[in-house]
Structure 1
Amino acid sequence: MATKPKLYYFRDRGRMESIRWLLAAAGVEFEEEFFETREQYEKLQKDGRLLFGQVPLVEIDGMALTQTRAILSYLAAKYDLYGKDPKERLRIDMYTDGTLDLMTMIMVRAFKPPAEKEETLTSVVKSAKTRYFPVFEKILKDHGEDFLVGNKLSWADIQLLEAILMVEELDASVLSDFPLLKAFKTRISNIPTIKKFLQPGSQRKPPPDSQYVALVRKILQF
């Protein structure tokens, strides 16, 4: 019996959440070890398992994988979520890089001073409405297919849904001017493996709170 992938990170979203999404969408069960102390983190560093001294860390196929995008690329290829040829992979890379830019704006918001959080929220929602979501609405309109690339579920679809849901937590009406993205959200959310991940009790993590921020600052010392 194959060993389940093991994920090392905080008990929250951060850069690990897209990895959780990808594994869940592929129907792959995984284990998690959560950092609670600085010593846990230091042990991984001393053991040489953090290539650049950074997490996420994923143990899979006898390897210790670090660097978020490298991990996602490997998992997408392994589970047939990375297109059928170099051109499709290029499009998937472009789309996932775009959604990652948007998601990173949301991720760093938790670590900003209270006075800046509202300003960041406004900036994120504006960027989603004027820069990112119009691109994906046009992609869906131009090719008229259910998925972003190759008319087949890919990493790009999974990460776009994740990004949409993250922005909707800040502004529930953000898709009001994007009917194709609304339909896309419903369609992808109803894929059985993804629908399961969206249910209460799954390994999907909630939005970050002040306790998470304090723990990350304590462990990573910044």
Structure 2
Amino acid sequence: MPTYRYVFFDLRGKGEIVRLCFHAAGVKFEDVRLDHDSWPENVRGREASPFGQLPYLEIDGKKFAQSIAIAQYIAREYGLYGDNSLENLSIDGVVGLTIDYFTRWARATYGPEDAKRRAELQAKVYSEDLPKFLQQLEELLIENKTGYFVGNKLTLADLKVYTTLENSFQEFPDMYTKYPQVLAHRKKVGSQPGIAAYLSSRKPTPV
């Protein structure tokens, strides 16, 4: 088996999906967590990373960038993709849906410098974008009828939804009562042995 060294900030963010994939698959890796505040001044660190950004994964010393590309690699290698090309297409579609929502959330959370405009965007995310996203997820789960988004096993799609919803689930747990399939899915993913063990020991972070 290759030797894996994963480098990302000491937070969840867009890079947490890679950690979840490793733990779900039961694959050992070195989880290197860097201080986010020191990264802009860490010139040597930026130069050492592909494209000058995080996260990246070292596979036997060779570096590869982009969180989704890394997660897709792990999913293909360790049984977290579908059983055929159509299932893989569906998985990638769910992953893309999560990215669409996360982009809107990030824009509202970190984008505008104007406090009033930021508040307006955040209100829209939680009153419109998040309910729409949850309804889409609910319908996908109802259609598939297995408790997973695609097929009858845990895949990258399930893990990506889980990590994308972490902040909103912490902030607005009552909202999820309107989406029982999504709520049940969250419990199902969180109870997977590798995921449950990781979550029980994971350091709490704001994002």
Q: Same fold (TM over 0.5)?
A: yes
- Write the deviation string for residues 85-121 of structure 1: whole angstroms up to 9, x where unpaired: 1111100000011012212333344423343443233
**Whole-Å Cα distance in 2 between the matches of residues 116 and 97 of structure 1?**
26
The answer for the alignment partner of 1:32 in structure 2 is 32
What is the alpha-carbon distance in structure 1 between the residues aligned to residue 173 and residue 118 of structure 2? 17
Structure 1 residue identity aligned to 2:57? V
Are 1:139 and 1:148, in contact at CA under 8 Å, matched by a contact in 2?
yes
Q: Which amino acid aligns with 2:129?
A: S
Pair 1:90-2:92 in alignment: no
2:119 aligned counterpart, secondary structure: helix
Output aligned runs, 1:158-169, within 5 Å: 158-169=159-170
1:143-158 aligned within 5 A = 143-158=144-159
Report % sequence identity.
26
Does the aligned pair in 2 maintain the 1:88–1:150 contact within 8 Å? Answer: yes
Per the TM alignment, residue 45 of structure 1 is displaced from its structure 2 partner at its CA by: 4.9
What's the counterpart of residue 104 of structure 2? 105
CA deviations over 1:126-173 (Å, ceiling 9, x no partner): 21212x221221122123112111101100011111222222233222
Taking structure 1 as reference, are residues 81 and 156 closer, same or farther at Cα in structure 2, changes over 3 Å only? same
Map of 1:20 onto structure 2 = 19
Aligned partners of 1:53 and 1:175: how far apart in 2?
A: 38
Q: 1:218: which partner in 2?
A: none
Matched, 1:137 2:135: no
Structure 1 length-normalised TM: 0.79
Alignment of 1:56-75 (within 5 A): 56-75=55-74
| Alignment coverage as a number of residue pairs | 201
Q: Which residue of 1 aligns with 2:5?
A: 6
Map 1:44-63; keep pairs closer than 5 Å.
Answer: 44-47=45-48, 49-50=49-50, 52-63=51-62
Distance 1:10 1:190 in 2: 25
CA contact (8 A) 1:96 1:156 kept: yes
Q: For residues 54-100 of structure 1, what are the alpha-carbon distances to aligned partners after superposition, in whole Å with 9 as ceiling and x for unaligned?
A: 32111124421112221121111112101111111100000011012
Alpha-carbon shift at residue 190 of structure 1 (Å) = 1.0
Query: Given that residues 2 and 59 in structure 2 are in contact (C-alpha distance below 8 angstroms), is that contact kept between their aligned partners in structure 1?
Result: no
Between the aligned partners of 1:77 and 1:190, the Cα distance in structure 2 is: 22
Closer, same or farther: CA 101–56 of 1 in aligned 2, 3 Å: same
Distance 1:55 1:64 in 2: 11
Distance 1:34 1:152, change over 3 A: same
Q: Which runs of 5+ in 1 are unaligned?
A: 209-222
**Is this contact kept in 2: 1:121–1:170, CA < 8 A?**
no
Equivalent position of 1:192 in the other structure: 193
Highest relative contact order (Cα 8 Å, sep 6+), 1 or 2? 1
Query: What amino acid maps onto 2:130 in structure 1?
Result: A
SS of residue paired to 2:57: strand
TM-score, normalised by the number of residues in structure 2: 0.84
One-letter amino acid of the structure 1 residue matched with residue 145 of structure 2: G
Distance 1:181 1:2 in 2: 35
CA contact (8 A) 2:7 2:57 kept: yes
